[in-house]
Amino acid sequence: MRRTGPVEIVRPRDLGEALREVAAGGRPLAGGTDLFVRVRKGTDASPFLVDIGGIADLQGVRETETGVEIGAAATHAQILAHPATERLPVLRLALQTIGSPALRAMGTLGGNLVNASPAGDGLVPLYLLEARVNVIGPGGETSYPVAEFILGPGKTALRPGELVRSITVPWPPDGARAYFRKVGRRRALLIAVASLGALLWLDGETICEARLALGSVAPTVLRPRAVEQALVGQPLAVEALAGLREALSSAVQPISDLRASAGYRRQVAGNLLLDLVSLRSV
Amino acid sequence: MTLRFRLNGRDLTVETPAGRRLLDLLREDLGLTGTKEGCGEGECGACTVLVDGKPRLACLTAAIQVEGKDVLTIEGLATAGKLHPLQEAFIATAGVQCGFCTPGLIMAAYALLQENPCPTRDEIRDYLGGNLCRCTGYAQVVEAVERAARELAGR
């Protein structure tokens, strides 16, 4: 049922208080760009929301020796503007495509993770960079590789009373070329029909390591490992990529929905592989 | 709750439910109807306001989220009865048809010019990508922002 009255929201002062509110059944509220839409449509039945946007422990971006630590409530705009993410171009490329300036100033990477949408643009670089999701709850702290944190559309490994505290993004090996592209009907406010992110390491013109991640073509973001391995030793050239197009199209498991048919998504995923040739000139 | 925030340069205290949409608080409780509701889902930008200088959608913001913050709406742009150069420029270029999307476009453009006082045409189009106009198009809107940027730079 569509909700008409205001939803109840509490604003804890610190992380401990937030955890108590979440343990009492409250749903963490970060940017609200998805949660408020669901609350108003009546598809989120949480008894109350816990505004974690002001909690210092969940804010900020911090550079460490091994990578970047991103607070769960850091906004996409803050992550994009932080000097540390300059060394993570694939993260910046993907976050820049999210929604619009206002949505990027509101939405958070922590929210993207907990939403666990197959179309979450912020998730593709986290799979490529093999990020970890740090969770805190009544039983203490746990950490999951992103691919084990996200279980399916809207499903995560979070247990009752837990919330995402931060995301650890390790530096990739030096020399990576970064690619991200999403396909849809327009550029802004776009929910992808299909998206491809990639990190390629080249020796001359030859691919010596490849990581690929696809959005919107499977229940979760997908790393097509067989295609990644098949790219190794190949030249970064249209002919070589075209040879793997079919393999990539069959690796994805898309659905048909109001944005595109499964068949179209398969074809777009395969075609996106050819676009990696644009990395030659990077 | 008792909500304290700054609205268009004035400190304000109001009694409101914590989960009241900022959009409803502005329009219905405070009578500031310049901020419009288009889609109510963050897809159209008609309700764009600035919170602490950053663009935000008032339809997806709860009252409690602006506690202690500085909110600027379209009503706060004119000073001493004189329209802001962006408002003047939208009139001069006829960047308005029905006008419903205009407050959101102007607030987004205002945020852009704060971040980037001399944007290129592509940067303007990119930044306003979250603001939909269903009457006509964006050519005069982009022209208005360019004009206002020149005007502001010349001061």
Same domain as B43, residue B99: no
The model's pLDDT over B109-122, given as tens digits with 9 standing for 90+, comes to 999 999 999 999 99
The model's pLDDT over B27-43, given as tens digits with 9 standing for 90+, comes to 999 999 999 999 999 99
What's the pLDDT at A84? 96
Tell me the chain B residues in contact with residue A49 when contact means C-beta distances shorter than 8 Å: 19, 62
Same domain as B61, residue B31: yes
State the complex-level ipTM.
Answer: 0.95
What's the pLDDT at A4? 63
What's the pLDDT at A1? 53
What's the pLDDT at A232? 98
Same domain as B90, residue B147: yes
The CB density around residue A124, as the number of other CB atoms within 10 Å, is: 30
pLDDT under 50: residue ranges of chain A: none
Of B40, B56, B64, the CB nearest to A9: B64
Same domain as B92, residue B146: yes
The top-level CATH class assigned to A56-170 is alpha beta
A7 touches chain B (CB under 8 A): yes
- The CATH number that applies at residue B29 is 3.10.20.30
The model's pLDDT over B55-82, given as tens digits with 9 standing for 90+, comes to 999 999 999 999 999 999 999 999 999 9
The CB density around residue A233, as the number of other CB atoms within 10 Å, is: 11
Check: CB of residue A248 under 8 Å from CB of residue A274: no
**CB-based contact A101 B112, cutoff 8 Å:** yes
**CB-based contact A101 B67, cutoff 8 Å:** no
Cα–Cα distances in angstroms (integers) from residue B72 to residues A110, A243, B151, in the given order: 27, 55, 21
Phi, psi of A156 (to 5 degrees): -135, 175
Domain edges within chain A: 9-51, 56-170, 192-281
Same domain as B9, residue B68: yes
Tell me the chain B residues in contact with residue A33 when contact means C-beta distances shorter than 8 Å: 42, 57, 60
Q: Is residue B79 part of a domain?
A: no
Q: Is residue B125 part of a domain?
A: yes
Q: Is residue B112 part of a domain?
A: yes
In sequence order, what are the residues at sequence separation of 6 or more whose Cβ sits closer than 8 angstroms to the Cβ of residue A251? A222, A224, A226, A227
B90 touches chain A (CB under 8 A): no
pLDDT-above-90 percentage for chain B: 97
**CB-based contact A32 B61, cutoff 8 Å:** yes
The top-level CATH class assigned to A192-281 is alpha beta
Residue B17: domain span:
2-74
Q: Is residue B80 part of a domain?
A: no
